[in-house]
Amino acid sequence: MGGKGVPWKAIARGIGVAAMAAFMGGLGGACRSGTGDFLRETREVYAGIPAEITFAVPEGRGEEARRWMAACWEEVERVGRVVNAFSADSEVGRLNAARKTDPWPLSGELAGLLQRCRQVFEATSGAFDPTVWPLKQVFRQARTEGRLPDPQRLAEARDRVGMGRVHLDGDRVRFEVPEAALDLGGIAKGHAVDRVVEFLEGQGVTRYLVRIGGEIGASGTSPQGRPWRIGVQHPRIPGQPIGVLEVPGRVFVSTSGPYEQPVVIGGQVFHHVFDPRTGEPAPLDVLGVTVVSRAGPREGARVDALATGLAVLGPTEGLAVASREGVDALFLVAGPGDSITTRATPGMEVIYRPLGDTR
């Protein structure tokens, strides 16, 4: 839901936020800065995920810009109607409910998104896998029951997981395991960012920041006339950044970490990101992963999926994958005592600045 219009100087110097909303203050509306008119709205989407769309209004196109804003939010909701595994009416929900013994027809959008999933699945040696839905369901039930998953049910779910047994042929998909099911939560928000960015650029907008949860697409300069400043969530202090990214030009950013949706069963905390290769939640020593791409358009989905996969791989293997994929990555890792150590690709040294101590 949008808020009241406020001067930009009251919104913490134009910082967009990956995986947190504190810097932007949850306000929205139209405003004028020293570098032109901007339109900004914030809402909660996909059952409570904070989202924001901000863009510079081309001169003389104010009325059109308000229609563009409405169209952007409509596009975000439309993506949810395609990929939401929790909805029986979504395309993914209908696919998951079917016993898939024959090739199943897909929309062009979902077919393209699954192709992108396969690319990241292969790049991460299976650490990112969109077929983890059966595993998530087992852990959801275990959380409801307040006890660890039954080993037999966990083994049965694990046997249903594996993108390598999903076969794509144009706009059709075939599953070797009929009970397999998709969970696109590790790529959907980035895909929605891509769609909004594509729409805005199609209207001639060159200065914007689009954020859905920890996924960001940004271009040009902020209302202050400088590159957008994107805060990286502190993994242990809600609402506080541990560092800031400042990247000129078009950029896509994704942050993944166990602080987002931890699974608590019997007093034990488990990572919300699962290792599809073992059927277990990923280790908790990786406190957060931020991935940055400047490779070109429609990179939001790829960095979203890569951040999930790298969180499973850990810093040593994950940084090697990031380098091969042409992206920058920052790992926040639990150190001695309560300390937090960082490991990053060389390019991060240019665009990332830590804030304060790392505890």
The label of the residue with tokens 């073992």 reads 278
**Residue of 15, 110, 4 whose CA lies nearest to 353:** 15
* Share of the chain residues as helix, strand and coil, in percent rounded to the nearest 5: 35, 30, 40
What is the tally of helices (H) and strands (E) in the chain?
Answer: 9, 20
**pLDDT of 20 above 60:** no
pLDDT in tens, 265-292: 766 666 667 789 988 777 778 999 999 9
Q: How far apart are CA 186 and CA 214, in angstroms?
A: 11
Structural domains present in the chain: 91-175 (1.10.3980.10)
Q: How far apart are CA 251 and CA 203, in angstroms?
A: 19
pLDDT in tens, 57-82: 998 888 899 999 999 999 999 999 99
With beta carbons less than 8 A apart as the criterion, state whether 147 and 266 touch: yes
With beta carbons less than 8 A apart as the criterion, state whether 304 and 213 touch: no
Q: Which residue has the higher pLDDT, 22 or 131?
A: 131
The Cα angle at residue 126 between residues 291 and 105, in degrees rounded to 5: 100
pLDDT at residue number 148 = 79
How many Å separate Cα 42 from the centre of its chain? 17
Q: Which strand ranges, in their side-by-side order, compose the sheet holding 229-233?
A: 15-18, 229-233, 241-246, 352-354
pLDDT in tens, 215-239: 999 999 999 999 999 999 998 888 8
